[in-house]
Amino acid sequence: MEKIKIKETPMSIYMYRQRSGRRFPIWFGFSLLVFLWLINSAACAHAAETKVSGRLVNGFRILDTQNHPDTSEFTVYRGDYIKFVPGENKPAVLSVPALDIEAELTPVLSDAPYFKMKEVGTFDFFINTTPGTIQVVEYTGIRYQAVSATEAAAIIKAQNPLVLDVRTPREYAVGHLPDVTLIPVQELQRRIGELATHKDAPVLIYCASGNRSTVASKILIDQGFSRIYNLEKGIKGWAKQGLPVVK
């Protein structure tokens, strides 16, 4: 067997030649192993994605306590707007001491109060005397990326994404990013068809502070959108960096 040096580099690459022919370069096998490892890591990350509770309805995460008569443990995303459905067909009182929440619940979903989950953590709650916990986690996903204002500006310049504002029309009228599409998060599920042509293109989503845009990001990803950017700290963070706001 003859050893042949084929290129001068700091890490010399060698090939081996036998009577039957040449073998692949040593680096080829190593590169293949790295490639397979990356694919496996991505698959594992996707499989390990946090399972959250409830279902999204018009931008609200609905947590049903009817199937949890003794105790309730829920996992939601930071930024979720949550509504509880009482376990019995009558009003109940919700208390979340650590978040200073106390409110009367109603079985009529449209009239039920909602609560914004702003902080990551685990919080005890009570519905009447029934205890439970809410674990609030950050949203992660292989098609999702939270970005700063300066990163968002660079993405807009380089990728020309659809920029989606998920605030209310009143907030939009006060000020918004240039060249945006306005769909309030509460309307996003039923108006998702308006964004169909952008399903395979990058989408940058923002709200006031980065909470509603997290909910909107999850809605779009569940609908098969391929690349979602979420503007951290929302338009407030964008304006703080001196970036353009249309008024």
Query: Could you give the residue numbers annotated as active site?
Result: 207
As a whole number of angstroms, the distance between CA 118 and CA 203 comes to: 23
Helix, strand, coil percentages, rounded to 5, for the chain: 30, 35, 35
Q: Would you call 25 exposed, middle or buried from its count of C-beta atoms within 10 A (0-12, 13-18, 19+)?
A: middle
Kindly state the DSSP code that residue 195 receives in the 8-state scheme.
G
C-alpha to C-alpha distances, 203 to 80, 119, 164, nearest whole angstrom: 20, 25, 7
Q: Would you call 177 exposed, middle or buried from its count of C-beta atoms within 10 A (0-12, 13-18, 19+)?
A: buried
| HSE-up of residue 133 (Cα within 13 Å, Cβ side) | 9
- Enter the tokens of residue 202: 């990058």
* In contact, 235 and 168? CB cutoff 8 Å: no
As a whole number of angstroms, the distance between CA 152 and CA 178 comes to: 13
3-state SS assignment for residue 163:
strand
